[in-house]
Amino acid sequence: MKKIKIGLISFAHGHAYSYLNALLSLPEVEIVGLADDVLERIGEAAEKHGLRTFGDYRELLELQPDAVVICSENARHAELTIAAANKGSHVLCEKPLGIGMDEMHEMIGACEANGAQLMTAFPCRYLAAVAQAKEAVDRGDIGDIVAIKGTNRGTAPGGWFVDKKLSGGGALLDHTVHVMDLMNWFIGSEVREVYAYAATLFHEELEVEDAGMIHVKFGNGAFGVIDTSWSRQAPYPTWGDVTMEIIGTRGVISVDGLAQSNELYSNSLASGTLSYWGENMDLGLVRAFVAAIASGEPVPISGEDGIRSAEVALAGYRSLAAGQPVLL
């Protein structure tokens, strides 16, 4: 069996370590190297697994990998994706796809021009509860969707995530896109109007917002609202949540994507923790990407899917500045 050669570019985003572990578990994959201009971020993982390292991603691309996984700072997604596409490599890019509409269209255009597939990293589609809810909606169990209320509440990540030049924004951008993608996927209609609220409420030292609510109206008449805040403080037993309340014309589905967990109470920790035991959504994401590359089939979460979610978050900032809803 010919192996699919994959490289990883940048470990700035912590998801890179999980994606690496997922790739290592797939026998059809050969990891050709790790690239990061901060070598300390990849040194331990490379040594543990005997992988080549590169301080310049262009050196990795010269190996002509079949595909790359990009987990850089958000502001570098476009540069790295376009460079990989120009070498003919397929791309799995961390969310948000980009921090501006023009650059995201350029990313998609570069991939199309070079016959490279572009997949956006939305692993929440591979949570068991989300997948089962999608199946129920597709069967018509709750009729037509009228509204969805979602949450993606987490802890403030720090580092480059709170540097607007590198991240593109705070919690409103960081945590809108995951659940917005799920809403787009479930409802299947384009967002027409966006209204957002955002502020810095939990961490006064931050220069970006750590609290946000985003409201959307879809073309088919459905509504959506997402709590996108970094509202989870240190004592909270887990990093955050992914939930949805899906209201249909004939019923309601409640989704708690991370509910498959055990409660652990420890004297040494002096607090409770939640130990997740459910489906590995990152493995599901990576496996789907590799399967599409191997078969030549379209990736299941496209660059266009990435744009649709990021566009809503970016519109949220325009709404915030205007103090009123904005149209897409």
Predicted local confidence at residue 234, as pLDDT: 74
- How far does Cα 8 stand from its chain's mean position? 16
Q: 274: pLDDT confidence band, cut at 50, 70 and 90?
A: confident
pLDDT of 270 over the 90 cut? no
Rounded-to-integer distance, Cα 5 and Cα 84, Å: 13
Exposure letters 35-74 (e unless 16+ CB within 10 A, then b):
bbeeeebbeebbeeeebebbeebeebbeeebbbbbbbbbb
Residues 199 and 60 in one domain: no
Residues 109 and 129 in one domain: no
Average pLDDT rounded to a whole number, residues 166-183: 97
Last residue of a domain, one of 77, 99, 116: 116
Average pLDDT rounded to a whole number, residues 263-286: 82
Residues 251 and 216 in one domain: yes
The total number of structural domains that make up the chain: 2
Average pLDDT rounded to a whole number, residues 153-177: 96
Last residue of a domain, one of 61, 88, 116: 116
Q: 260: pLDDT confidence band, cut at 50, 70 and 90?
A: confident
pLDDT of 140 over the 90 cut? yes
Rounded-to-integer distance, Cα 233 and Cα 242, Å: 16
Percentage above 90 pLDDT, the chain? 90
Residues 179 and 137 in one domain: yes
Average pLDDT rounded to a whole number, residues 305-320: 98
Q: Is 163 exposed, middle or buried (0-12, 13-18, 19+ CB in 10 A)?
A: middle
pLDDT of 13 over the 90 cut? yes
Average pLDDT rounded to a whole number, residues 75-90: 98
Q: What is the enclosing helix (H) or strand (E) of 128?
A: helix 128-139
Residues 86 and 144 in one domain: no
Q: Concatenated DSSP letters for 92-103? A: EEESSS-SSHHH
Q: What is the pLDDT of residues 128-137, one digit of tens each?
A: 999 999 999 9
Q: What is the pLDDT of residues 287-296, one digit of tens each?
A: 999 999 999 9
Rounded-to-integer distance, Cα 200 and Cα 210, Å: 5
pLDDT of 275 over the 90 cut? no
Average pLDDT rounded to a whole number, residues 14-21: 97
Q: 2: pLDDT confidence band, cut at 50, 70 and 90?
A: confident
Q: Please give the mean pLDDT across all residues of the chain.
A: 95
Q: What is the pLDDT of residues 176-192, one digit of tens each?
A: 999 999 999 999 999 99
Percentage above 70 pLDDT, the chain? 99
pLDDT of 268 over the 80 cut? no
Q: What is the enclosing helix (H) or strand (E) of 84?
A: helix 77-86
Question: What domain range includes position 37?
Answer: 4-116
Q: 240: pLDDT confidence band, cut at 50, 70 and 90?
A: confident
243 occurs within a structural domain: yes
3-state SS, residue 272? strand
Residues 193 and 100 in one domain: no
Predicted local confidence at residue 113, as pLDDT: 98
Residues 111 and 251 in one domain: no
Taking alpha carbons only, the member of 180, 182, 235 closest to residue 213 is 180
Predicted local confidence at residue 236, as pLDDT: 76
3-state SS, residue 273? strand
Q: What is the pLDDT of residues 105-122, one digit of tens each?
A: 999 999 999 999 999 999
pLDDT of 307 over the 90 cut? yes
pLDDT of 267 over the 90 cut? no
Predicted local confidence at residue 80, as pLDDT: 98
Last residue of a domain, one of 92, 116, 140: 116
Average pLDDT rounded to a whole number, residues 256-279: 80
Rounded-to-integer distance, Cα 52 and Cα 55, Å: 10
